[in-house]
A and B are shown apart, each in its own frame.
Chain A
C-alpha cells in the first residue's frame, strides 16, 4: 500500500494555517461583532439632552426601527459622521442619539454647529447605557427593530458609502419583517 500521501499532511496543515492567518491580517482588528445582536435592547432610562425633566426609555423605541447612534462632542470622528446621519434622517430614518460621556453645553453647541440628525436625544454622562450596549468607543451605531431587538451593529464611523451600502438596506430589511 502506498502511504506517500501521508507526507503531505504537514504541508496541508501549513497551508490551512497560512490561509487563516492571511485572512486575519486583512481584517480590521477594532471591528468586532456585538454580543447584543438578536438580543433585546437593554433597558435604560436617561434624560433628554435638551430637557433634564424628560426621560427617554427603551419603550420609546418600540414600534419603529431605530438607529441608535452613540456619540460625543469630544469625539472628532463623530463630527465626520454627522453628514451621513443627516442624510439618513432625510431618508426618513429614525435616529436615537446617545450623547456619551459628555456635557449638555458641549453637546448642544456641537449639534448647533454640525446639525442635529436625532429625532430622540438621550444624555448619558456616565456611560451607563454605553456600558450596557458594550460600547468601547464612539461613534458606534446599532439598529434596533420595532420589537426592541438589536439587529445590527456598526463599529466606528458610518462612512459616506455605508449609508447606501449597508445602513439603509439593513433598516429596510428590518422594517419589512
Chain B
C-alpha cells in the first residue's frame, strides 16, 4: 500500500516537472550573440509577481510576457540598458537584480566599503591606544616619579655594597 502511494507520488511529481518544463517557451534567435544577451537579460530581470525569482526561472504569466517583450525589444535592436530602462519604467527598480548606482542607492553599494573603513579605523585606534599604554611608555610625571623611587632605592644599597669605604 505504502509502496503504491510512493510510486503514485513519484509519478505525480515527475509529471508535474514535465508540465512545468513544457510551459517554458523557447525564443529562438538567428544571431548567437543576441541569444546570449537574451539569456543574460532574463537572468538579471526579476519577476515582479514572485518574491525572489528571475524571469528566466519563473513560470508566472507576467514573466512569460516579460520574456517575450525582452525578445521583441532585442529583435528591434534595443540595447541592454534600454531594455532594462523599459522594464524599470513599468515595474520599478524592483525588477533589477543589480540595482543601478544613483543618489538613492549609494548607501546600498557603499555600505560594505563604509563598514570596512569604519572597522579599519576602530582597529587602528585600538591598536594605537594599546601601544601607547604599553609598559615602558610612561608619561613625563610617571617617569620622574619612577626615577625618584629608583634613586631612593639605589642610595642605601650602594652604601651596603661598600660598607668598609
Question: Which residues in A have their C-beta under 8 angstroms from that of B90?
Answer: 35-36, 131-134
Q: Which of B60, B65, B66, B90 has the most CB of A within 10 A?
A: B90
Describe A's contact surface by its main secondary structure.
loop
> A134 and B92 in contact (CB under 8 A), knowing A29-B51, A32-B48?
yes
Within 8 A of A (CB), among B76-134: 88-94
B143 interface residue, CB < 8 Å from A?
Answer: no
Describe B's contact surface by its main secondary structure.
helix
Interface size on A, residues (CB 8 A): 17
Q: CA–CA, A30 to B51, complex, Å?
A: 8
B150 interface residue, CB < 8 Å from A?
Answer: no
Q: In the complex, are the beta carbons of B48 and A134 less than 8 A apart? A: yes
B49 interface residue, CB < 8 Å from A?
Answer: yes
Contact with B along A3-38 (1 / 0, CB 8 A): 000000000000000000000000001101111100
Closest chain B CB from A65 CB (angstroms):
22
Question: Which residues in B have their C-beta under 8 angstroms from that of A127?
Answer: 65
Q: CA–CA, A133 to B91, complex, Å?
A: 8
Question: Which residues in B have their C-beta under 8 angstroms from that of A114?
Answer: none
Question: Which residues in A have their C-beta under 8 angstroms from that of B49?
Answer: 30, 136-137
A151 interface residue, CB < 8 Å from B?
Answer: no
Q: In the complex, are the beta carbons of B62 and A137 less than 8 A apart? A: yes
Contact with B along A133-157 (1 / 0, CB 8 A): 1111100000000000000000000
Q: In the complex, are the beta carbons of B62 and A34 less than 8 A apart? A: no
Binding site for B on A (CB under 8 A): 29-30, 32-36, 101, 127, 130-137
